[in-house]
């Protein structure tokens, strides 16, 4: 369970997130959608505990900067940052030790198999392509069996096999009750995944829909997205 209450983040005087409040339940997948610069990454970094902010963020009932929260949180950043001098296999071991995981070897092997990293186990972080670095980043986040997992633009840069595998894993995690948050500037790329979507623009959530609402009303989400992000008509119908 993730709860964000009155999150405001300023970079000096610039307001990148303005009073965001939302929650994502266990087993629910939420999408933060919006064009570049809308404030998605900033919100995700605040949730991940990487930035100072005003407001409150709770992961499974724990303040996000506490150890109890961090233990339960997986984060896949937009730009992967593997350790240059650790191999793929050592990244998994490092995470396992840092989080005090037990019996993690089989999980690590399975994740590496699913993301086609098995034959790269001995390659150094700095020797990997951007896509492979992204796959390690995903494997590290998933190895801890997070209760809440954040993906910042996860599909950009992945090959089709990895996209298929990631989507399958997201569905498995959802079935196990994991709270999933995905940011994207391409709504159609996550069409088959979301339960809830927040459309962001200029640091604010301008619209919020559940899949049930959209299915019941037949609303065209793409049109709503463009009406908000390209400023044709706002939610209230004013330009
Ligand atoms: P998105 O993820 O939706 O593309 P970001 O959260 O990265 O948006 O950025 C939101 C706004 O905050 C943008 O205008 C961006 O230029 C600004 N911004 C992001 N990071 C910084 C930073 N470290 N310092 C100053 N401004 C920033």
Per-domain residue ranges for the chain? 2-237
Q: What is the DSSP letter of 124?
A: B
Element (H, E) at 184: strand 179-184
**Topology at the third CATH level for domain 2-237:** Rossmann fold (3.40.50)
Ligand 1 atom closest to 14 (CA): 26
* Token pair 């209230």 in the structure block, residue: 236
Contacts of 100 (CB under 8 A, 6+ apart): none
Instruction: State the pLDDT confidence band at 233, using cuts at 50, 70 and 90.
Output: very low
* Axis-axis angle for helices 105-114, 88-98 (nearest 10): 140
Give 110-159 pLDDT, tens digit per residue: 999 999 999 999 999 999 999 999 999 999 999 999 999 999 999 998 99
Checking if the pLDDT of 235 tops 80, the result is no
Q: Can you tell me the distance from the alpha carbon of 43 to that of 30, in angstroms, rounded to the nearest whole number?
A: 13
The b/e string for 63-102 (b: 16+ C-beta within 10 A; e otherwise) is: ebeeeebbebbbbbbbebebeeebbbbebbbebbeeeebe
Q: What is the whole-number distance in angstroms between the Cα of residue 75 and the centre of ligand 1?
A: 18
The dihedral through the CA atoms of 150, 153, 155, 156 has a sign that is negative
Q: What is the whole-number distance in angstroms between the Cα of residue 19 and the centre of ligand 1?
A: 16
Q: Which of 7, 35, 37 to mutate to test the pocket of ligand 1 (most atoms within 8 A of CB)?
A: 37
**pLDDT of amino acid 202:** 96
227 lines ligand 1 (CB under 6 A): no
Q: What is the whole-number distance in angstroms between the Cα of residue 14 and the centre of ligand 1?
A: 9
Give 182-229 pLDDT, tens digit per residue: 999 999 999 999 999 999 999 999 999 999 999 999 999 999 999 998
CB 200 within 8 A of CB 39: yes
**pLDDT of amino acid 213:** 94
Of all protein residues, the one whose alpha carbon is nearest to atom 22 of ligand 1 is 11
Q: What is the whole-number distance in angstroms between the Cα of residue 90 and the centre of ligand 1?
A: 32
Q: What is the whole-number distance in angstroms between the Cα of residue 42 and the centre of ligand 1?
A: 6
Backbone region of residue 218 per phi and psi (left: phi > 0; alpha: psi in -120 to 50; beta: other values): left
Contacts of 215 (CB under 8 A, 6+ apart): none
Evaluate if pTM is beyond 0.75: yes
Q: Which of 10, 13, 18, 42 to mutate to test the pocket of ligand 1 (most atoms within 8 A of CB)?
A: 42
**pLDDT of amino acid 237:** 42
């Amino acid at each position: 369970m993730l709860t964000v209450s009155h999150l405001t983040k300023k970079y000096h005087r610039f307001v990148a997130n303005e009073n965001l409040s939302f929650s994502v339940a266990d087993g629910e997948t939420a999408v933060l959608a919006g064009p570049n610069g809308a404030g998605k990454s900033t919100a995700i970094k605040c949730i991940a505990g990487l930035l100072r902010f005003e407001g409150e963020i709770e992961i499974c009932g724990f303040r996000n900067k506490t150890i109890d929260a961090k233990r339960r949180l997986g984060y896949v950043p937009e730009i992967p940052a593997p350790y240059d001098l650790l191999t793929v296999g050592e990244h998994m071991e490092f995470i396992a030790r840092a989080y005090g995981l037990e019996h993690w070897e089989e999980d690590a092997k399975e994740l590496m198999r699913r993301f086609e990293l098995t034959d790269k186990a001995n390659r150094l972080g700095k020797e990997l392509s951007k896509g492979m670095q992204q796959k390690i980043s995903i494997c590290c986040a998933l190895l801890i069996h997070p209760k809440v997992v954040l993906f910042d633009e996860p599909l950009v840069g992945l090959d089709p096999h990895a996209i298929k595998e990631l989507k399958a894993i997201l569905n498995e995690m959802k079935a196990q009750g994991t709270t999933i948050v995905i940011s994207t500037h391409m709504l159609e790329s996550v069409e088959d995944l979301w339960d809830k979507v927040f459309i962001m623009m200029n640091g604010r959530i301008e619209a919020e829909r559940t899949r049930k609402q959209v299915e019941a009303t037949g609303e065209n989400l793409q049109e709503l997205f463009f009406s908000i992000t390209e400023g044709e008509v706002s939610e209230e119908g004013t330009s």
